[in-house]
Structure 1
Amino acid sequence: MNKLLLLSFTGLILSCSPYKKYADTAASWEEEITKLEYKDDAESYSDDAVLFIGSSSIRIWENIKEDMAPYEPIRRGYGGAHFSDLVHFTKRLVYPHNFQALCIFVANDITGGENDRSVGEVMTLFKEVVSTVREKYPDTPIFQIAVTPTSSRWKVWPQSNKLNKALKAYCEKHDNLYFIDSVAPYLNEEGTPRDELFLGDKLHQNQAGYDIWAAEIKKELDKVLK
């Protein structure tokens, strides 16, 4: 390949990079990420910890230590994380830690808003996050937690569930990559969300919801780690 062709090819790759395409999605989260980095300096964990990264369901999980016992959780969720901004912060959230498994939960790329990403876009971003993690942790188990069905976003559940299916299919094709399908316990007999498991916003879980979530996550961790 001659030098001109190589430069053109490199430029094409960079122009398609999610880091460039979604460059404007990072700045608004900088303060929160910096605060999480301060936690890295203040807190210590064993190498057997389980790292949780992602959006507000991770960030506000105040009882995660008790709920996830006997696993030792590291909680590094921020705001209303999207995969389109997580790609910028993966190294900063993950690389400072030693852990036996990584759990990811991000559920804000498809909400019914004008800035929604397509399933294909989200999958591209998810793969980039996984690739970034693999640069330092080539064999560490990664668990992607399903998008939870909620009444507040029920109108876009078909798209969100399509994303869940795409994530599951991708995980099943790759070593040490697992999908936690936690959807069923959040649906009632009519197949709609169980609002009693959520706060008044019908989006974020209450403790009853977290009890279910923790049980589903631990069940899948046990299969792989024990």
Structure 2
Amino acid sequence: MRYLLFLFFLTGLALNAQNVHPFASEVEEIQKRMDSIWVPSEETIVFTGSSSIRMWNDLQERFLDIQIANTGFGGSQAKDLELYQDELILNYNPKKVFIYEGDNDINAKQRPKAILGTFERILDNLHQKNPDLEIVLISAKPSISRWHLRGKYKRFNKKLNKLAAERTKVSYTDVWNIMLNKRKLKKELFIEDGLHMNKKGYDLWYSVLKDSVNTK
């Protein structure tokens, strides 16, 4: 009898482990980090999404006039942000949020239509809970390691732009074209892995995002 109970106990532990979302611990760490620096009484802008946001280490230093909450989590897809949008966005009561997702989704062979469906649910939920929230959708970026998927990324960006145009308080920022030179990728913008950006890459992002951040 005790042996059977022990087996049931182990089975329960295994099932619980299987039900834990792969980003649960990272999201918890982000919350702990933000809780130590975030000032609730100050106006906040959230930047969230996959590693291109997470690795923007000097984001707050570039925008000294407003509190920035960087809740990016590396490797994430839109479906992961949908699951954690309360923890990573709404908990900080932002006036504006910049979202970068879709890059890993396309690489994981997700269809643009399915990704856009997830984005639609994210937008619906965010505006249901905070109708005044301004949302900026950042296009997928080109990269050396994923250049072979450029056709799919361009189609995705076109659909993402259209989605933003159809929504109130939602805008779209294109970072794709500024990272090209006559249709060729500016390879000097990337670190050794060919996927993530160096300071030159983030300088370009800053140049196209700064006006949206500073708009009252």
TM-score by length of 1: 0.82
**Distance in 2 (alpha carbons) for counterparts of 1:220 and 1:101:** 9
Indicate conservation of the 8 Å contact 1:26/1:88, yes or no. no
Gaps of 5+ in 2: 1-17
Assess if the C-alpha contact under 8 Å between 2:98 and 2:137 holds in 1: yes
Aligned counterparts of 1:54 and 1:25: Cα–Cα separation in 2: 22
Does 2:196 match 1:204?
A: yes
User: Hey, what's the Cα distance between the residues in 1 that align with 2:75 and 2:19?
Assistant: 12
Counterparts in 2 of 1:50-199, with a 5 A limit? 50-106=45-101, 107-111=103-107, 115-189=108-182, 191-199=183-191
SS at match of 1:211: helix
Cα distance change on mapping 1:41 and 1:221 into 2, 3 Å: closer
Deviation track 1:101-121 (CA, whole Å, cap 9, x = no partner) reads 10001121011xxx4110100
TM-score (norm. length: structure 2) = 0.85
Q: Percent identity?
A: 26
Counterpart of 1:20 in structure 2 is none
What letter is aligned with 2:175?
A: S
Instruction: Look up the SS of the partner of 1:73 in the other structure.
Output: strand
C-alpha offsets along residues 4-31 of structure 1, whole Å, 9 cap, x if unaligned?
xxxxxxxxxxxxxxxxxxxx89711111
Q: CA deviation at 1:48?
A: 2.3
Q: Distance in 1 between matches of 2:206 and 2:67?
A: 12
Query: 1 CA distance for matches of 2:198 and 2:109?
Result: 26
Rate the CA distance shift 1:216–1:71 in 2: closer, same or farther, 3 A: farther
CA distance in 2, matches of 1:51, 1:39: 14
Which amino acid is the alignment partner of residue 108 of structure 1?
A: N
**Number of equivalenced pairs:** 197
Aligned partner letter, 1:31: S
Report runs of 4+ in structure 1 exceeding 4 Å deviation.
none
1:99–1:148: structure 2 CA closer, same or farther, 3 Å change rule?
same
Structure 2 CA distance, aligned partners of 1:71 and 1:47? 8
Shift of 1:84: 1.9
2:66 and 2:198 map into 1 onto residues whose CA distance is 21
CA distance in 2, matches of 1:127, 1:151: 29
Counterpart-to-counterpart distance in 2, 1:159 and 1:126: 17
Measured at CA, do residues 71 and 197 of structure 1 come closer, stay the same or move farther in structure 2, by a change above 3 Å? farther
SS in structure 2 at match of 1:103: strand
**Aligned twin of 1:44:** 38
Structure 1 unmatched ranges of 5 or more: 1-23
Q: CA deviation at 1:67?
A: 2.3
C-alpha RMSD of the superposition: 1.8
